[in-house]
Structure 1
Amino acid sequence: MSAITVRTRLWPVRLRSTPAVATAAAVVLACYLLVGLVGPLLIPYDPVATSVADRLLPIGAVRQDGTLALLGTDGAGRDMLGQLVHGARTSIVIGVSVVATCLAVGLALGTLAGYLAGWTDVAISRLIDVLMAFPGILLAIVIAGLFDQGMLVVVLALSVAGWVAFARLARGLTLSLRVRPWVDAARLIGVPTPVVIVRHIIPFVIGPVTALATTEFAGAVLSEAGLSFLGLGLPSSTVSWGQVIANGKDYLDTAWWISALPGLALTGLVVSTGLLGDHLTQRLGSSR
């Protein structure tokens, strides 16, 4: 089995796409999901509560009240473990929301463009070309900067150009599927166009599109962290790994753990998602 390049937004990682690698990545993602869903219920500390007396405590230090700061505290005395756990939930919720929105819009527009062709295909393709002319993160920064901070704004900002990849893939697959015998037969017997698309096109498109969604999830998580790092993402009342990394940039020499821990958590989520997504893409691609 040939080696593939797993391309995240951080760096290219050269690994072999094997079932073992995919299984390990899936296990890591399951752990992230478990931490994001259950972790905030188990952490006794408020991740946004400050304590001047407990600021910049190192990993394993003891707070003034005698409790253990397992992963230390930041410059405002906020518990790092609580911020990491709550940040995992934020990343997962935003990543899933962005991917679900982009998948729905991209799948709908892409299949319509590929099946109907004509002016519909031209209009949607030109819209795709326009959005591809601008970096997606730049559009997200502009949109996030125009509105008040909030999770809905972040999801919409990241979805404005995020659906393009799904639409291009769905359109390309639909163009090849629309000339298949079973689709021609359905049209000849008078099956309505919406029914043909839903029953005879989408079932063959949804697999590759779902594989793409896995890799796009990593991009959405990383983009959200970037927006939060710039102060354009979520409000301070919502913990984000990007915010935590930004909070620690002034303490890199004395309190490295503030930026390093969320950075490592973000890297693990992005890389494992990219590995699993590339494996699914390869498997689905070879099965078609």
Structure 2
Amino acid sequence: GFPTTVNPIVQNRLIPVFIDCELGTYDATAEKMQAAISPKTRAIVMAHTLGNPFNLDAVMTIARENNLFVIEDSCDAVGATYDGKPVGSFGDLSTASFYPAHHVTMGEGGCVQAKTASMRKIVESLRDWGRDCWCPTGHDDTCGRRFDWQLGGLPYGYDHKHIYSQIGYNLKLTDMQAAIGVAQLKKLPEFIAARRKNFNRLYQGLKKYEEFFILPQTTPKSEPSWFGFLLTIRPDAPVKRYDLVQHIESRRIGTRQLFAGNLLKQPAYQNIPHRVVGDLTNSDIITTNTFWIGVYPGLTDEMIDYMISTIDEFMAGV
């Protein structure tokens, strides 16, 4: 996983519950999710791994049956769809990232999407220092009661623009970033198409190695918006990730691990309060055997073929 999926849970003194995923889709099964629910469970938080949607039918059914919030981490998956609907439109909240390497960028930052007006009000308050006022930028007295409030221990009539009902943050984007984002959105369809094309070319070039690698598997009913091309070396294959990655990197091709792998192996998470349901066998395999290469839309066919031939060169010696 990635730290930011879990960190807010820990930072708010809540208890994250970890379950294992399946290799190939890197999605959790409905059975594992159901087994993890306890009377104290309040939300399901999951990421669409590298642009491949998780099983939203299962997640939303479990959430409805157990009265849980759903938070979609869509940072890797802008433009992906599940059953014809965009990811990020199913849960109560969803996140997207505008980090430079993602599908669209504003240089940095991201966004939160809220399903309801009441949830949006809370999110915007947290964004704006925790302010209770919900006036849009440049507007005053939307509520018609700006000087007629009494909240907390404040005197009656305290200016609502300066009443704070949340312990908030200062997380606003600049106008310049917004302008870049608007321009990027216009290009998003061609970015997604190019990523899918590059992914498919890599798949066709590497499927001959399926006895050695677990290739990425599309979640049923979904159309991914690929962020990268995942390869998991099969545990019984005569290939070591370290050796293969060193070979690829020596040819000036970038690689990445699947982010933090099993988060509970990371130094920062050794002593956090948490719960694990079942084993994390596949997460451990990912930590030792998985890596990915890029499908950036600026890559040409020649570049993709060079990536394939570089892996061919290594595999010829296996």
TM range (shorter): under 0.3
- Greater share of residues in helix: 1
For normalisation by structure 1, the TM-score amounts to: 0.25
Q: Relative contact order (alpha carbons < 8 A, sep ≥ 6): 1 or 2 greater? A: 1
For normalisation by structure 2, the TM-score amounts to: 0.23
